[in-house]
């Protein structure tokens, strides 16, 4: 089975002691390409450095809603410069997070809109984070649009009805470890119904390890468990699911 983890934070300190081994395990398990997603101004250079070191790793640059309140005045200019790097394939992760509220909600919304507009200017797809903010996030997307390059709802946690609206706007739906949890009713409903040509898979590592690794540090190789779970729900083989999701990732992120 070959697969692509479309959302990993490999620069995280959780991997400081064995990062190269983690990356090797991903390749040995069948991982082809990988998107290393930054979440603040400090993580961007680390994500890009990994993309420069490994030919099969690509980077995404953006500001997570947790960090929206700490952006420097010139952050958009800095993001625009980073986005020109040849291994940067997307803007994000960006969005809204009303679960932890680590940045004021108005600032979250403003920084999200600013990054959406930058993505349109750069021609890059977007990676969207949404936690407990479905209504406001959809309102922004309806008003602002997502741009011709499209994007993805990462680690999707909304309803099937929300997923359908997001896809109508040009977004892919990405599922992560929570779809494997026994009580994940909404995620499983989405997994069964989303058209295969709009589906991505991810780990969001080092967070949200899937069954049977739940509670442990997550790592890119574990995306195979996500693929296996969705494949079982849909009545196809994990290899078939991973192949389709991988083709979608290559198309969305223009991976060569």
Total of domains in the chain: 1
pLDDT tens figures, 94-130? 999 999 999 999 999 999 999 999 999 999 999 999 9
**Pairwise CA distance, residues 89 & 81, whole Å:** 13
pLDDT band at 179 (very low <50, low <70, confident <90, very high): very high
| 210, 229 Cβ separation under 8 angstroms | yes
pLDDT tens figures, 73-100? 999 999 999 999 999 999 999 999 999 9
Question: Minimal CA–CA distance to 106: which of 147, 63, 50, 65?
Answer: 65
Neighbours of 241 (CB within 10 A): 25
Give the DSSP letter of residue 147. Answer: -
Question: Minimal CA–CA distance to 62: which of 32, 31, 94?
Answer: 94
| DSSP 3-state of 82 | helix
Q: What is the mean pLDDT of residues 52-61?
A: 98
**Pairwise CA distance, residues 19 & 216, whole Å:** 16
pLDDT tens figures, 126-150? 999 999 999 999 999 999 999 999 9
Residue 152's domain comprises: 3-253
Q: What pLDDT is attached to residue 183?
A: 93
Q: Is the pLDDT of residue 57 over 90?
A: yes
| 62, 35 Cβ separation under 8 angstroms | no
Alpha helix positions (H), the chain: 19-29, 43-53, 75-83, 105-122, 134-144, 160-168, 185-193, 223-234, 238-253
CATH number assigned to the domain comprising residue 74: 3.20.20.140
| 203, 219 Cβ separation under 8 angstroms | yes
Tokens of 135: 């209504």
Q: Is the pLDDT of residue 256 over 90?
A: no
Q: What is the CA radius of gyration of the chain?
A: 17
Whether the full predicted model's pTM is greater than 0.95, yes or no, is yes
| DSSP assignments along 86-144, one per residue | TTEEEEEEEEEETTT--S-HHHHHHHHHHHHHHHHHHT--EEEEEES-HHHHHHHHHHH
Tokens of 128: 């969207």
Question: Minimal CA–CA distance to 120: which of 154, 82, 147, 160?
Answer: 147
pLDDT tens figures, 198-239? 999 999 999 999 999 999 999 999 999 999 999 999 999 999
Q: Residue 36: exposed, middle, or buried by beta-carbon count in 10 A (0-12, 13-18, 19+)?
A: buried
Listed in sequence order, the residues at least 6 apart from 30 whose beta carbon sits closer than 8 Å to its beta carbon are 1, 2, 3, 224, 242
**Pairwise CA distance, residues 210 & 224, whole Å:** 9
* Average pLDDT, rounded, for the chain: 97
């Amino acid at each position: 089975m070959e697969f692509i983890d479309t959302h990993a934070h490999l620069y995280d300190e959780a991997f400081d002691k064995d990062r190269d081994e983690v990356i090797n395990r991903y390749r040995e398990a069948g991982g082809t390409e990988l998107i290393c997603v930054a979440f603040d101004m400090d993580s961007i250079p680390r994500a890009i450095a990994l993309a420069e070191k490994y030919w099969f790793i690509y980077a995404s640059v953006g500001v997570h809603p947790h960090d929206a309140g700490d952006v420097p005045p010139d952050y958009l200019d800095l993001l625009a410069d980073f986005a020109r790097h040849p291994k940067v394939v997307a803007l994000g992760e960006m969005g809204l997070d009303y679960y932890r509220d680590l940045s004021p909600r108005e600032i979250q919304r403003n920084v999200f809109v600013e990054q959406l507009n930058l993505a349109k200017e750069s021609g890059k797809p977007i990676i969207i984070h949404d936690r407990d903010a479905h209504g406001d996030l959809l309102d922004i997307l309806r008003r602002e649009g997502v741009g011709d390059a499209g994007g993805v709802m990462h680690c999707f946690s909304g309803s099937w009805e929300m997923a359908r609206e997001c896809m109508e706007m040009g977004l892919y739906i990405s599922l992560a470890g929570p779809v494997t949890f026994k009580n994940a009713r909404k995620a499983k409903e989405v997994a069964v119904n989303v058209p295969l040509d709009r589906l991505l898979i991810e780990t969001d590592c080092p967070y949200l390890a899937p069954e049977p690794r739940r509670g442990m540090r997550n790592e890119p190789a574990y995306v195979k468990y996500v693929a296996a779970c969705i494949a079982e729900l849909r009545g196809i083989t994990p290899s078939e699911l991973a192949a389709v999701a991988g083709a979608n990732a290559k198309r969305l992120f223009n991976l060569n």
